[in-house]
Amino acid sequence: MHTLYHASIYDRARPTPSYWEATAPAAAPRAPAVDGDVTAPVAVIGGGLTGLSCALHLARDHGIEPRVLEAGPIGWGASSRAGGFVCFGATKLSFAQSLARHGEDGTRALWRAQAEAIELVEALAADEAIDYGRQGDGQFELAHKPSRFRELAEEREALARYAGVASELLSPEAFAERGHGGGENHGALHVKAGFGLHPLRWTWGLAEAALRRGAKLHGQSPVVAWRREGARHRLVTPTGVVLAERVVVATNGYTADGLLADLDGRPMPVISNIIVTRPLTDEERTAVPWHTETPIANTRIRLFYYRLLPDNRLLFGARGDTTGQPEHGQKVARWMHRRMGELFPPLRGIAIDFTWRGLVCLLPKLSPAVGRSADDPSVFYGLGYHGNGMAMAPWTGRLLARLVVGESTEVDLVPAALRGAGPAVLLPSRRLWWLRLALAWYGVRDRL
């Protein structure tokens, strides 16, 4: 199997040095490695939010007790590394592009799915008693240029029309009063859906719920080989073999080429970096000034996303390097530190306590992919949330559970924009070259 980045990006032996790990619940969910030969009605490959939600829904709603196989500790991938923004953005299609491709109804289905996904986070947390560390109210999109403020006005109308979600346009002055002071404020859109959460508590909470409902979780169990054996799938891990009747692939940005032919050459994994400051003093908060716990993202394509954490630290995220080499990650983190200081001068040079990175998953079709393998009707997949899977991944996991049990067909259950993996990237082995070209172009667009 083949992956795109430097080996350090896939090093599951090293703990993630994140703020979320440092503030996680005391005990990780019980997930022993596969031991010997075992069977399962359904095997789920990937123990992030997609796989865990699929397992929870299979066990809770459909009476099927699946096994989840995760290469690292449970939640090791993007799910435990995220910024914790629960928001829209699982597609990179603009409303205009979506209308051209999927029409009015298809566009409504795509945005309603994202609104439902946000609602699902709250419903699942309530049903399964998950303390996910909720913060803020909605999301701010901050215009980094006057022209982007005009685009936010159009977005406001489209969100109301297609997602049924209200939002409020704020002048630069109004955002400075409700959001924060500092640079690059040309007005904002306050989307009245979403919030911030603690990604690791959310992920482990879903894992504990899946366990309680009868799913079995296996950490340190990478699927290194997979073949058909009669009516069953033989999934080989270093410590044992799982014989499964059906398989769900939920490996998102960590999907290796060679795992499932339907996905080969599709995922465009992109590194996202996060830095977290030491706690801000009251004087620093007043000096910025900083008024909100609501998550904020600016309108750059190469965006900055940031939020104030419960202990007054600032979490600041941005897209990362394109090699995965540790020294390139460190260079990006230094650049982010400098840019953060430029945006918020009172915080210039502030100590950074946590730095980490992980893979988000883009797809050439520009919207998530949910489907059934063309070669084998007992294999399913769900991935590609374009950096916004805190809500969309659990929503997809629930949808996958319905597909697996045959509740209905893909055509009935999966919105057209999400159905299927779409085409592969041209020259898949050159994906990182395409990414470098795209990032260079986005950098130019962000300045226009």
Ligand X SMILES: Cc1cc2nc3c(=O)[nH]c(=O)nc-3n(C[C@H](O)[C@H](O)[C@H](O)COP(=O)(O)OP(=O)(O)OC[C@H]3O[C@@H](n4cnc5c(N)ncnc54)[C@H](O)[C@@H]3O)c2cc1C
Q: Which residues contact 274 (CB under 8 A, 6 or more apart)?
A: 18, 81, 83, 315, 316, 317, 354, 355, 356, 357
SS3 assignment, position 440: helix
Task: Give yes or no for residue 387 binding ligand X (CB under 6 A).
Answer: yes
CB of 69 to ligand X, least distance (A): 5
Distances from the Cα of 335 to the Cα of 106, 273, 328, 331, angstroms: 40, 11, 11, 6
Q: Which part of the chain contacts ligand X (CB under 6 A), choosing from 41-49, 127-135, 163-171, 419-427?
A: 41-49
From the list 388, 398, 417, 418, which residue makes contact with ligand X (rule: CB under 6 A)?
388
Q: Cis omega (within 30 of 0) on the bond before 289?
A: yes
CB of 352 to ligand X, least distance (A): 15
Task: Give yes or no for residue 81 binding ligand X (CB under 6 A).
Answer: yes
CB of 171 to ligand X, least distance (A): 26
Residue whose token pair is 């359904």: 42
Task: Give yes or no for residue 202 binding ligand X (CB under 6 A).
Answer: no
| Cα distance between the two ends of the chain | 41
Looking at beta carbons only, is 188 or 318 nearer to ligand X? 318
Looking at beta carbons only, is 180 or 198 nearer to ligand X? 198
From the list 5, 19, 20, 85, which residue makes contact with ligand X (rule: CB under 6 A)?
85
Task: Give yes or no for residue 272 binding ligand X (CB under 6 A).
Answer: yes
Q: Other C-beta atoms within 10 Å of 353: how many? A: 14
**Residue 405: its H or E element:** none
Looking at beta carbons only, is 284 or 303 nearer to ligand X? 303
Task: Give yes or no for residue 72 binding ligand X (CB under 6 A).
Answer: yes
Judged by CB under 6 A, the chain residues 274 through 313 that form the site for ligand X are 274
Task: Give yes or no for residue 76 binding ligand X (CB under 6 A).
Answer: yes
User: What is the crossing angle of helices 389-404 and 49-62, to 10°?
Assistant: 40
Task: Give yes or no for residue 83 binding ligand X (CB under 6 A).
Answer: yes
Per DSSP, the residues of 118-149 read HHHHHHHHHHTT-----BSSSEEEE-SSHHHH
From the list 29, 77, 138, 324, which residue makes contact with ligand X (rule: CB under 6 A)?
77
Task: Give yes or no for residue 254 binding ligand X (CB under 6 A).
Answer: yes
8 Å CB contact between 390 and 219: no
The phi-psi region of residue 34 (left if phi > 0; otherwise alpha if psi is between -120 and 50; otherwise beta) is: beta
From the list 106, 253, 368, 415, which residue makes contact with ligand X (rule: CB under 6 A)?
253
Binding site for ligand X (CB under 6 A): 45-51, 69-72, 76-79, 81-85, 222-223, 250-254, 259, 272, 274, 317, 357-360, 383, 385, 387-390, 393
